[in-house]
Amino acid sequence: MTADAIGGVWQYALQLAGDLVRTGWSVDLATLGPAPSPAHHAQAEAAGVTLIDTRLPLDWLATDAQAVSVAADAIAALAAARAVDVVQLNQPALAIADFAMPVVAVVHSCVASWWEAVEHGPLPADLAWQTELVARGLARADAIVCPTRAFAATVQRLYALPAPPLAIHNGRTLPAATGALYTRAFTAGRLWDRGKNIATLDRAAALLPLPFRAAGPARGPHGEHHKLHHLEPLGRISDAAIAAALSTRPIFASAACYEPFGLAVLEAALTGCALVLSDIPTFRELWDGVATFVAVDDAEGFAHAIAALAADTDRRLARGALARSRALAYAPEQTARAMAALFDRVTATGARAAA
């Protein structure tokens, strides 16, 4: 299984790999991009996973198609050397290589769908080559997985796939918060990513009479930066610090205009936070009937929804309980069972050998 040590893909991959190990699988977790930290190595060891730091270029940080092609060939050679039965590529472009075993490509996000949600007009040349590699990889994969049905429909349309990818929801395990209840708002994610639309929440924070904190990096790997004027920035903080912030059950908000799933929302829901979310198809699929939905760019709407929950503790707690009940349905064990069943299916059919 491939991963990177930068953000949500690491959390997803580590959770899934550990759950697969507990059901009898042996998992090699090969990271691309920046080297895993000692903490990453410790997490992998605790999960019973073999962590392999390849130092190969990560697709969305690579400078050109040749770098991705070299990385893809190296991962295929590594899989052959390790004599694995199946490969899960969390970077679908890597499927362009000649793998000797079945390949499952998981599309967590992609440049084409991000651009469609965030920008206007055709993809620029410096991004179009990434989309072309993803298209080639998806065409060669034995199975394709997306974290939501809504995103699967988008991927099918953008890449002209004959059928929609299989939708398998992500899962996380976190205990419910039982500590003191503080009246504040909270958000978390890649604050530099325009797809997260932190600017709307920053404007909403100016209209609120309560603290509104934002966790996550404000500067991206390519120099992207978003300056916050009203949100209280916490910067990049550890998983333990995120858990501590969520333990007070703040009102959790996300104004994302692009979010194929949203692990941060799931973590907040698991701890019992009331949710105020942008009205986009993926959030509707996951949290309809549980969250308060607001139009993507409606800063006043976000401020009003957050303030209303802050003023009514009973309603806030009730909405948080609903969110946790829904979140528990996205159990990581279900994700692992669905992925293991898919692995069994692609290895039994011998699709890669036949191709």
Is residue 25 included in any domain, yes or no? yes
Is residue 141 included in any domain, yes or no? yes
Q: Is the pLDDT of residue 30 over 80?
A: yes
Task: Quickly state the pLDDT bin for 146 (edges 50, 70, 90).
Answer: very high
Question: Residue 239 belongs to what domain range?
Answer: 185-328
The model's pLDDT over 49-68, given as tens digits with 9 standing for 90+, comes to 999 999 999 988 888 999 99
Is residue 162 included in any domain, yes or no? yes
Average pLDDT, the chain: 93
Is residue 126 included in any domain, yes or no? yes
The model's pLDDT over 167-182, given as tens digits with 9 standing for 90+, comes to 999 998 877 877 788 8
Q: Which residues contact 38 (CB under 8 A, 6 or more apart)?
A: none
The model's pLDDT over 263-299, given as tens digits with 9 standing for 90+, comes to 999 999 999 999 999 999 999 999 999 999 999 999 9
Identify whether residues 189 and 166 lie together within a single domain: no
Identify whether residues 189 and 318 lie together within a single domain: yes
Identify whether residues 146 and 211 lie together within a single domain: no
Q: Is the pLDDT of residue 145 over 60?
A: yes
Identify whether residues 323 and 349 lie together within a single domain: no
Q: Is the pLDDT of residue 355 over 50?
A: no
Q: How far apart are CA 355 and CA 142, in angstroms?
A: 10
Residue 146 pairs in a beta bridge with: 167
> Rounded mean pLDDT of 94-119?
96
The answer to whether 54 and 69 are in contact (CB under 8 A) is: no
Is residue 176 included in any domain, yes or no? no
Q: How far apart are CA 214 and CA 236, in angstroms?
A: 10
Q: pLDDT over 90 for what percent of the chain?
A: 83
Q: Is the pLDDT of residue 331 over 60?
A: yes
Identify whether residues 337 and 286 lie together within a single domain: no
Count up the domains in the chain and report the number.
2
Give me the pLDDT at residue 121, please: 85
Is residue 178 included in any domain, yes or no? no
Identify whether residues 39 and 100 lie together within a single domain: yes
Distances (CA, A) of 336 to 22, 144, 170, 239: 10, 15, 9, 22
Identify whether residues 31 and 62 lie together within a single domain: yes
Is residue 213 included in any domain, yes or no? yes
Give me the pLDDT at residue 222, please: 63
> Rounded mean pLDDT of 220-229?
75
Q: What is the CATH number of the domain that holds 298?
A: 3.40.50.2000
Q: How far apart are CA 114 and CA 196, in angstroms?
A: 10
Is residue 8 included in any domain, yes or no? yes
Give me the pLDDT at residue 174, please: 79
Identify whether residues 319 and 342 lie together within a single domain: no
The amino acid present at 248, given as its one-letter code, is: T
Give me the pLDDT at residue 353, please: 46
Q: Is the pLDDT of residue 351 over 70?
A: no
> Rounded mean pLDDT of 73-91?
98
Identify whether residues 202 and 260 lie together within a single domain: yes
Identify whether residues 196 and 75 lie together within a single domain: no
Give me the pLDDT at residue 350, please: 59
Identify whether residues 94 and 150 lie together within a single domain: yes
What DSSP string runs through 9-78? HHHHHHHHHHHHHHTT---EEEEESSPPPHHHHHHHHHTT-EEEE--PPPGGG-SSHHHHHHHHHHHHHH
Identify whether residues 195 and 304 lie together within a single domain: yes
Give me the pLDDT at residue 354, please: 39
> Rounded mean pLDDT of 152-164?
97
Give me the pLDDT at residue 226, please: 75
